[in-house]
Structure 1
């Protein structure tokens, strides 16, 4: 292993010693394991340090200390970077082993790192235990200072709108949901933060005053930055949400959609630059067709079709007189004169009328004369 070192030839003790002996001769190896944090987040690197100290008054040679990383490897990856000040290191997965000598009062440190999986689909615990010889403080690995269990608060977030489409003047309700699906609560010095950027949305809508509410404190709206920020503590398994409303501009102009994305550095799915669809909300704006109708074009009055001219009345031509055929003698029929009976009657009527008129005039004259 890297940075392995060998100690000088140890001085042998003149008499056997036992761990914890209260007499003038005492052999004891103190082992303490620590981490640079109390919890981890997906993708984070955890640095482990094992401090080994000869706190007795006897020389210790060939001591063996073993660190079992099997619990770490369910949720992380050992970075194969262990180094030590004194002694030698070897790694046979999942055991990291140190062998070394220490004079009374001397100590050495083993340092290595584990990077948590991202995403973390394991039990969300980085667990390990270190064991030493029987005269050490960690003979079984269950003693205080000999084992670590780092939990992982795991923040999941999502955003949604109550509709896929909206019209000018309508209200759109947004809801951001979050929860701690991990194995530990978020510490007070590392509370999760969710930022909801509304700049694009508020170019085409108005934030409804008083509409922001949160089931887990606290969510605030900054009208200058046009953002909503939520931060709060979440125990393992705890869930919450915040919601708010905007009113679509009416009249409406510009982009025909409302789009925004939430960001949370501590989350597993909505970190900066995430393309996860659960981190954004998209609402299409539907506009009525307000295109003015084309100008009215008068329809020309159709030219009346002239009435058909009736054909001229047929000219009635009287029939030509029948040729005179003298009747043979011996017949009693009068000879044909060319005049019909109708003509004879009409002529007789006219003669009577004229005669009557003349008689009337003559009568009037005689009466005047007699007077």
Structure 2
């Protein structure tokens, strides 16, 4: 066998896919917001340097609760820079889940949006300057105004609509009996 003619190049990739989400998209001051960041190795090689940072200073007025946990790897928080960091090793197809929470503070006006992005290496969808919406989570904080998402309102509006239609029909039937109309 002629080893000089063997192709020893490999197409090994360590691509990371990150997603960030919040358990609630609309809160009031004092409410707890739990964030989850999922990191998955979509490459075909082990990634021994998987990592991300999450700059919590962008969450103006929100207070980090000191409760970060990771399903694998290690997570830390730098109080001086308000940065949450995670690092770990991921085999191809393996994922890590990091959760932490903040308590929403008072908005400057009636409402404020807490917009926060996770950043990772260049071999990810959340590299520096990335515009992938999965890297960012937005939460609206409203002062004194209950905020209800359209999804949460839909069942209530549907039931009010049905009851309202029945009530209106009953009023019309009663009117016909009383007035003979």
Partner SS for 2:97 = strand
Q: CA deviation at 1:153?
A: 3.1
Residue 27 (str. 1) matches residue 25 (str. 2): no
Query: Counterpart of 1:59?
Result: 46
Q: CA deviation at 1:190?
A: 5.8
Find runs of 4+ consecutive structure 1 residues off by over 4 angstroms: none
Distance 1:110 1:63 in 2: 13
Q: 1:244-288, CA deviations, whole angstroms, 9 ceiling, x for partnerless residues?
A: xxxxxxxxxxxxxxxxxxxxxxxxxxxxxxxxxxxxxxxxxxxxx
Out of 159, 183, 187, the position equivalent to 2:149 is 187
Alignment RMSD:
2.3
Q: CA deviation at 1:111?
A: 0.3
Quickly say closer, same or farther: Cα 1:90–1:104, change in 2 above 3 A.
Answer: same
Decide which structure has greater strand share: 2
Distance 2:120 2:78 in 1: 17
Query: Counterpart of 1:310?
Result: none
Out of 20, 31, 40, the position equivalent to 2:27 is 40
Query: Counterpart of 2:63?
Result: 77
Between 1 and 2, higher relative CO (CA 8 Å, sep ≥ 6) is seen in 2
Distance 2:107 2:20 in 1: 26
Distance 2:107 2:142 in 1: 13
Out of 122, 130, 137, the position equivalent to 1:134 is 122
Q: 1:165-220, CA deviations, whole angstroms, 9 ceiling, x for partnerless residues?
A: xxxxxxxxxxxxxxx8xxxx6423269xxxxxxxxxxxxxxxxxxxxxxxxxxxxx
Partner SS for 1:58 = coil
Matches within 5 A, 1:1-12: none
Partner SS for 2:92 = coil
| Alignment check: 8 A CA contact 1:51 1:107 kept | yes
Distance 1:112 1:105 in 2: 23
Distance 1:15 1:112 in 2: 41
Q: CA deviation at 1:152?
A: 2.1
Out of 90, 101, 120, the position equivalent to 2:76 is 90
Q: Which of these two proteins has the greater Rg computed from alpha carbons?
A: 1
Query: Counterpart of 1:149?
Result: 138
Query: Counterpart of 1:106?
Result: 94
Quickly say closer, same or farther: Cα 1:15–1:35, change in 2 above 3 A.
Answer: farther
Query: Counterpart of 1:122?
Result: 108
| Alignment check: 8 A CA contact 2:51 2:85 kept | yes
| Alignment check: 8 A CA contact 1:75 1:125 kept | no
TM-score w.r.t. structure 2 length?
0.69
Q: 1:320-351, CA deviations, whole angstroms, 9 ceiling, x for partnerless residues?
A: xxxxxxxxxxxxxxxxxxxxxxxxxxxxxxxx
Quickly say closer, same or farther: Cα 1:40–1:61, change in 2 above 3 A.
Answer: same
Q: 1:14-70, CA deviations, whole angstroms, 9 ceiling, x for partnerless residues?
A: 867xxxxxxx53321010000111211111100000000001111101222101111
Count residues with an aligned counterpart: 141
Distance 1:105 1:15 in 2: 22
Query: Counterpart of 1:213?
Result: none
Stretches of structure 1 lacking an aligned partner (at least 5 in a row): 1-13, 17-23, 157-179, 192-371
Partner SS for 2:133 = coil
Partner SS for 1:142 = coil
Distance 2:30 2:9 in 1: 51
Q: 1:120-149, CA deviations, whole angstroms, 9 ceiling, x for partnerless residues?
A: 143622221101110011002532210122
Partner SS for 2:142 = coil
